[in-house]
């Protein structure tokens, strides 16, 4: 009976050791599984952080672009209006030309109208481009003719056929000019 008891105790101890070994293996497997899950979670957290940073940067870019676009829209909203007024001003200036100096009252009225129109242009940042004697600039001038002259430097504006205009430093109509051409 003592042998049976010993055998029974040994069997129980072996069973307990097997259970402990299985528990350790299960614990190790669970730890490895938890480690794998935590690595996956850390990667997901990193990805989410990057997505938040990209979203913040994109939102900032959109805000900045919207502000710039609104500023441009506000600044150049009267461009069409300005272009329409240019022909009125041209007509007024033509009526003041040396050929139309017969009626003093008419001239005084037109001069007053032109002065008022110039005040409106100044108020809305519409500036004249009158480049007589300046170097030809294709960004602000449109050459209508080339005139040979040995007295003037080449590529100089000899005369202005029609003044140009800028709205807030943007050319809305280039000046139509005659440019000096030298044949040296």
Q: Secondary structure of 67-81 in the HEC alphabet?
A: HHHHHHHHHCCCHHH
Is the pLDDT confidence value at 122 over 90? no
Give the closest residue to 94 by CA, choosing from 107, 81, 83.
107
CATH assignment of 125-183?
A: 2.30.22.10
Q: State residue 34's pLDDT score.
A: 77
Is the pLDDT confidence value at 184 over 70? no
Q: State residue 129's pLDDT score.
A: 93
Show the tokens assigned to 106: 């008419």
Percent of residues, the chain, with pLDDT higher than 90: 35
- What secondary structure letter does DSSP report for 178? E
| Dihedral (Cα; 56, 62, 68, 71), 10-degree rounding | -110
Our CA angle for 15, 19, 21, nearest 5°, is 115
d(CA 77, CA 119): 19
Is the pLDDT confidence value at 15 over 90? no
Show the tokens assigned to 65: 């672009």
Residues 57-69: what's their mean pLDDT? 94
Distance, CA of 24 to chain centre: 64
How many CB atoms within 10 Å of residue 163? 19
Q: Which residue has the tokens 């913040």?
A: 56
Is the pLDDT confidence value at 119 over 90? no
Q: Is 170 helix (H, G, I), strand (E, B) or coil?
A: strand
Q: What is the mean pLDDT of the chain?
A: 82
| Dihedral (Cα; 133, 154, 179, 147), 10-degree rounding | 120
pTM: 0.54
Residues 34-56: what's their mean pLDDT? 88
- Mean pLDDT: which of 12-26, 32-46, 73-87, 123-137 is highest? 123-137
């Amino acid at each position: 009976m003592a042998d049976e008891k010993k055998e029974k105790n040994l069997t129980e101890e072996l069973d307990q050791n097997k259970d402990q070994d299985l528990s350790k293996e299960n614990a190790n497997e669970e730890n490895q599984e938890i480690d794998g899950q935590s690595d996956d979670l850390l990667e997901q957290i990193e990805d989410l952080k990057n997505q938040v940073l990209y979203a913040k940067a994109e939102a900032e870019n959109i805000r900045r672009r919207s502000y710039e676009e609104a500023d441009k829209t506000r600044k150049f909203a009267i461009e069409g209006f300005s272009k329409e007024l240019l022909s009125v001003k041209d007509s007024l200036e033509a009526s003041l030309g040396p050929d139309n100096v017969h009626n003093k009252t008419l001239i005084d009225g037109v001069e007053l109208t032109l002065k008022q129109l110039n005040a409106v242009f100044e108020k809305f940042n519409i500036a004249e481009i009158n480049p007589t004697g300046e170097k030809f600039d294709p960004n602000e001038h449109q050459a209508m003719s080339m005139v040979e002259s040995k007295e003037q430097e080449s590529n100089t504006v000899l005369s202005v056929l029609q003044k140009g205009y800028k709205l807030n430093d943007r050319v809305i109509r280039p000046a139509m000019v005659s440019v000096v051409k030298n044949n040296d």
